[in-house]
């Protein structure tokens, strides 16, 4: 089949339809995943085109995947965070959807309370088990879209479900048909796709879903789930780990539009953020995240990180309010008792704190020298300094300017700086090795007559 692609403005040949490949034994890709060794990153040098969609967005799983690794949120906490998500996403709905459990009374109470807020964004969606009873729950709650688990690697099909590929595919298609018959938009979670036989199972199954979508007129979505964080973003990486190859294949061979594709990554190999960005760049509109990256094992893609990534690759925030990121972090620490690792980018209390005197000296002269961007304006987090044995006069001047002489902005040659520097040096000369706290510096400043 040859068709004219309106976006690319060229004729495209697409005349091959991949068929399901049944196997007696599962394909576990032992050359890539030996299990007793570190997984291998293999290349075949087949380069997929980078095709960012016209529109990209973020979806949220804080109240679903994010709740699987911490104490459950109360309905009141969920409502508060949901309102912050809406404010952060802005009027253009850059945080497009938020996913909820629907099983317990508490889940349903929180969901209804958020619905009653009447906010346009994020849209509330559900996550359900593959049963008609759960579809009824979703429909009664007024949900238009629900996630359905459709595990697609042979690890899951053969070892967990104890089925053949055909049995699994037929079962999944039956569940999707049930959802469509009830008017629910299915979002199919392709679990463990980065260990799945892409052309032998993923594409044939996705193609069948695409046909169902066209027949029903209901846009079925695929959540591309990198369940164990095996995805690789580099050009020329071979399947099943290639993010460019997965997104390209789902679009070209399975017939899915960008708006029907959503990446869901985990951080097992420190690639959650870069993998999500790659999914955007290679043609998926959505990336699924959780606040602070809280989720299974090493966690999900941090939502706040993708807000910043969005701005980097689009050159605009499109109405997102990045100051809310600080509000979210403060709420987690002060109200929920969650300890954010202090060096966590954008939200940790020390992410833009310097201890080196040479860095403090640069910040005193021009903040841009050692600060990533205007963190005070964009994240409500001005650069700060910690006083240690290496802070020097510049570090002490910076501390005084941020804490005492806020409007005066004294120089590092000021006598008051010298007096406090002498006291600091005495602390370390007497054997101290720890950082000096703000309270200690305040008390010393009083004793020295600096205040």
**pLDDT tens per residue across all 451 residues of the chain:** 788 888 778 888 776 789 999 999 999 999 999 999 999 999 999 999 999 999 999 999 999 999 888 889 999 999 999 999 999 999 999 999 999 999 889 999 999 999 999 999 999 999 987 777 888 889 999 999 999 999 999 999 999 999 999 999 999 999 999 999 999 999 999 999 999 999 999 999 999 999 999 999 999 999 999 999 999 999 999 999 999 999 999 999 999 999 999 999 999 999 999 999 999 999 999 999 999 999 999 999 999 999 999 999 999 999 999 999 999 999 999 999 999 999 999 999 999 888 777 777 777 778 888 888 999 999 999 888 888 888 889 888 888 888 888 778 888 898 898 999 899 899 999 998 888 888 898 898 899 888 8
Q: Which of 261, 145, 282 is nearest to 210 (CA)?
A: 261
* E-state strands within 218-319: 221-226, 261-265, 286-289
- Asked whether 36 and 294 are in contact (CB, 8 A), the reply is no
Q: What is the DSSP letter of 352?
A: T
Tell me the fold of 2-41+49-334. Answer: TIM Barrel (3.20.20)
Q: Which two tokens stand for residue 436?
A: 């000096």
Which pLDDT score is estimated for 196? Answer: 98
Tell me how far CA of residue 305 lies from CA of 71, 105, 334, 389, in angstroms. 23, 32, 21, 33
Which 3 state secondary structure label does DSSP give 336? coil
C-alpha–C-alpha distance, residues 295 and 284, integer Å: 22
- Angle of helix 243-252 relative to helix 272-281, nearest 10 degrees, comes to 30
- The b/e string for 122-161 (b: 16+ C-beta within 10 A; e otherwise) is bbbbbbbebeeebbebbbebebebbbbbbbbbbbbbbeee
C-alpha–C-alpha distance, residues 130 and 128, integer Å: 6
Tell me how far CA of residue 375 lies from CA of 279, 340, 348, 386, 405, in angstroms. 27, 18, 12, 17, 20
Q: Which of 176, 251, 263 is nearest to 12 (CA)?
A: 251
Which pLDDT score is estimated for 437? Answer: 87
Cα 16 from chain centre: 34
Q: Which of 167, 168, 216 is nearest to 192 (CA)?
A: 168
Round the CA-based radius of gyration of the chain to a whole number and report it: 26
Delimiting residues of CATH 3.20.20.70 domain(s) in the chain: 2-41+49-334
C-alpha–C-alpha distance, residues 371 and 350, integer Å: 12
- Asked whether 274 and 300 are in contact (CB, 8 A), the reply is no
Q: Which of 94, 76, 77 is nearest to 86 (CA)?
A: 94
Which pLDDT score is estimated for 68? Answer: 87
Which pLDDT score is estimated for 249? Answer: 96
- Asked whether 393 and 417 are in contact (CB, 8 A), the reply is yes
C-alpha–C-alpha distance, residues 161 and 184, integer Å: 25
- HEC-encoded secondary structure of 76-133: HHHHHHHHHHHHHHCCCCCEEEEEEECCCHHHHHHHHHHHCCCCCCCEEEEEECCCHH
* H helix runs in 141-182, sequence order: 154, 165-181
Q: What values do phi and psi take at 286, rounded to 5?
A: -110, 145
């Amino acid at each position: 089949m040859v068709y004219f692609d309106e976006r690319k403005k060229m004729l495209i040949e697409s005349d091959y339809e991949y068929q399901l490949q049944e196997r007696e034994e599962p394909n576990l890709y032992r050359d890539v995943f030996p299990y007793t060794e570190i997984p291998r990153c293999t290349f075949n040098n087949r380069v997929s085109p980078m095709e960012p969609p016209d529109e990209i967005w973020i979806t949220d799983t804080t109240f679903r995947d994010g709740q699987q690794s911490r104490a459950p949120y109360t309905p009141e906490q969920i409502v508060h965070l949901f309102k912050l998500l809406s404010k952060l996403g802005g009027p253009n709905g850059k945080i497009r959807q938020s996913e909820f459990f629907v099983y317990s009374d508490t889940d349903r109470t929180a969901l209804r309370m958020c619905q009653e807020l009447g906010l346009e964004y994020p849209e509330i969606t559900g996550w359900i088990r593959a049963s008609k009873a759960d579809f009824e729950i979703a429909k009664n709650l007024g949900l238009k879209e629900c996630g359905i688990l459709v595990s697609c690697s042979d690890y899951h099909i053969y070892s967990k479900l104890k089925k053949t590929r055909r049995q699994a595919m037929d079962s999944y298609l039956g569940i999707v048909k049930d959802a469509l018959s009830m008017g629910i938009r299915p979002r199919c979670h392709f679990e463990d796709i980065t260990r799945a036989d892409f052309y032998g199972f993923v594409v044939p199954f996705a193609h069948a879903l695409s046909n169902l979508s066209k027949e029903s007129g209901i846009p079925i979505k695929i959540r591309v789930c990198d369940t164990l964080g095996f995805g690789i973003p580099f050009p020329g990486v071979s399947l099943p780990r290639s993010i460019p190859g997965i997104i390209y294949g789902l679009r070209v061979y399975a017939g899915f539009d960008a708006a029907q594709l959503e990446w869901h990554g985990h951080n097992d190999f420190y690639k959650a953020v870069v993998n999500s960005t790659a999914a955007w760049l290679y043609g998926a509109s959505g990336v699924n995240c959780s606040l602070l990256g809280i989720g299974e094992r090493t966690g999900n893609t941090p939502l706040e990180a993708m807000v910043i990534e969005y701005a980097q690759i689009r050159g605009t925030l499109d109405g997102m309010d990045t100051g809310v990121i600080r509000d979210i972090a403060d709420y987690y620490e002060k109200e929920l008792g969650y300890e954010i690792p202090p060096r966590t980018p954008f939200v940790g209390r020390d992410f833009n704190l310097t201890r080196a005197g040479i860095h403090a000296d640069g910040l005193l002269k021009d903040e841009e020298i050692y600060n990533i961007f205007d963190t005070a304006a964009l994240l409500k987090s001005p650069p700060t300094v910690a006083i240690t044995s290496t802070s020097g006069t510049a570090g002490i001047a910076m501390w005084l300017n941020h804490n005492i002489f806020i409007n005066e902005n004294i120089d590092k040659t000021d006598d008051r700086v010298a007096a406090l520097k002498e006291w600091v040096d005495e602390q370390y000369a007497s054997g101290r090795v720890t950082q000096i706290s703000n309270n200690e510096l305040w008390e010393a400043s009083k004793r020295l007559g600096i205040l």
